[in-house]
């Protein structure tokens, strides 16, 4: 029997239920939202709004439906029936008790839109991503090699059931394209959309070029913009925005494209073994994707929704990540190599000269942490949870 995987976000979610009348939890399909909700609300009913019977029960008589669940419930995939939010607003206005409902959704845009319109000030908000390295370690799951982690990704079911990665991810993509995409957008050519998803995988870690994606997908740029929004809102990809401090330096304005799960990224790239991964010409950018997403997961699990950035100027000087932590600015350079030399630290040193109060962090594929100078440090991949 599969064991229960403890999630790091649990304590933050529990706290937010003491602060808000309802809690919204978004995240990709199969990231563990339902399991988390049932742990948080052990004694409250669970309803999935993707189930036709649940939809029909609500639509037949909304007043009777909410009378039945007046003491609270878990409403899964609630964005499927937008009218629910109108009735919820009235209930939460009449009863200000904290922690009455948990609402989940695998489409961030639809749920956020409904929450901001109907439940602003009444509902807290968290995002649950697939398993982080910290969670895998805490649950004593096998985390010996960064390449294994990159290949396997973080979807809990794969880890819990020891499933075949490629078979599971192939089904995940097919289900996503054939069910979710059709429900969310009126896409006539699913073949072109599927081709676009694979092209995004090839562009991971690079500056986003919408025109090139449009040309290779054989659709227009406006369609690409719409499709990117769909991938973002359903937590397949995210766009890392460029950092700006309003100085006179000419900075790059295009975002960079990353995947929320490197297992899915590798599958889409046709990488199915450690040997193939290690020999892949884009190994460095895949490693970078894993590190940045781990940092994103750790922040989300602590309820930190403050954005993260990258830095690049017109001369080509760049650092892979810019974050704020405890009101301090960090420039972070990421390299998959196992050794550190002055050439590897060049971009970080340049950044710190431009931002005199910034800390510099070099995250790499080796195993030793060190202090290079008073404000410049190295961190190995297997201590990413410390950050």
**CA–CA gap between residue 335 and residue 261 (Å, rounded):** 19
* Residue 304 · residue 291 · CB < 8 Å: no
Helix or strand run (H / E) with residue 334: strand 328-335
Strand partners, 207: 256
DSSP character at residue 32: S
Residue 178 burial (CB count, 10 A): 12
- Print pLDDT tens along the chain (387 aa): 457 899 999 999 999 999 999 999 999 999 999 999 999 999 999 999 999 999 999 999 999 999 999 999 999 999 889 899 999 999 999 999 999 999 998 887 777 787 778 888 899 999 999 999 999 999 998 778 999 999 999 999 999 999 999 999 999 999 888 777 777 777 878 888 999 999 999 999 999 999 999 999 999 999 999 999 999 989 999 999 999 876 556 677 899 999 999 999 999 999 999 999 999 999 999 999 999 999 999 999 999 988 999 999 888 889 999 999 888 899 999 999 998 887 878 899 899 888 888 899 999 999 888 878 778 899 999 999 987
Report pTM. Answer: 0.94
pLDDT tens digit sequence for 111-127 = 778 777 888 889 999 99
pLDDT digits 0-9 by tens, 310-330: 999 888 889 999 999 888 899
CA pseudo-torsion sign 53, 54, 57, 60: negative
- Which domains are present in the chain? 10-127 (3.40.50.300), 142-243+256-282 (no CATH)
């Amino acid at each position: 029997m599969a064991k229960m995987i403890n999630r790091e976000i649990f304590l933050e979610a529990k706290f937010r239920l003491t602060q808000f009348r309802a809690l919204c939890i978004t995240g990709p399909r199969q990231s563990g939202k339902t399991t988390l909700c049932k742990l948080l609300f052990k004694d409250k009913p669970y309803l999935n709004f993707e189930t036709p019977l649940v939809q029909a029960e609500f639509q037949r008589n909304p007043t009777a439906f909410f009378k039945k669940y007046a003491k609270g419930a878990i409403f899964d995939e609630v964005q499927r029936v937008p009218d629910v939010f109108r009735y919820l607003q009235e209930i939460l206005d009449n009863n200000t008790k904290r922690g009455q409902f948990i609402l989940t959704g695998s489409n961030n845009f639809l749920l956020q839109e409904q929450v901001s319109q109907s439940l602003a000030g009444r509902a807290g908000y968290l995002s649950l991503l697939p398993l982080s390295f910290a969670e895998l370690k805490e649950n004593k799951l096998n985390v010996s090699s960064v390449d294994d982690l990159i290949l396997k990704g973080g979807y809990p079911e794969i880890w819990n059931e020891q499933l075949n990665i490629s078979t599971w991810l192939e089904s995940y993509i097919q289900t996503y394209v054939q069910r979710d995409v059709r429900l969310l957008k009126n896409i006539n050519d699913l073949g072109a959309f599927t081709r676009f998803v694979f092209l995004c995988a090839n562009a991971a870690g690079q500056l986003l070029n919408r025109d090139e994606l449009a040309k290779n997908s054989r659709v227009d740029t406006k369609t690409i913009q719409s499709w990117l929004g769909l991938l973002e809102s359903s937590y397949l990809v995210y766009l890392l925005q460029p950092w700006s401090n309003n100085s006179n330096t000419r900075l790059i304005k295009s975002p960079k494209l990353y995947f929320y799960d490197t297992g899915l990224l590798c599958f889409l790239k046709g990488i199915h073994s450690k040997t193939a991964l290690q020999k892949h010409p884009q190994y460095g950018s895949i490693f970078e994707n894993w590190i940045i997403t781990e940092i994103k997961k750790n922040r989300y699990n602590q309820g930190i929704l403050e954005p993260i950035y990258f830095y690049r100027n017109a001369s080509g000087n760049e650092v892979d990540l810019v974050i704020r932590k405890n009101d301090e600015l960090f420039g972070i350079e990421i390299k998959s190599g196992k050794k550190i030399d002055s050439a590897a630290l060049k971009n970080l040193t340049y950044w710190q000269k431009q931002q005199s109060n910034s800390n510099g962090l070099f995250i790499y594929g080796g195993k030793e942490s060190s202090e290079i100078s008073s404000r410049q440090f190295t961190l190995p991949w297997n201590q990413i949870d410390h950050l």
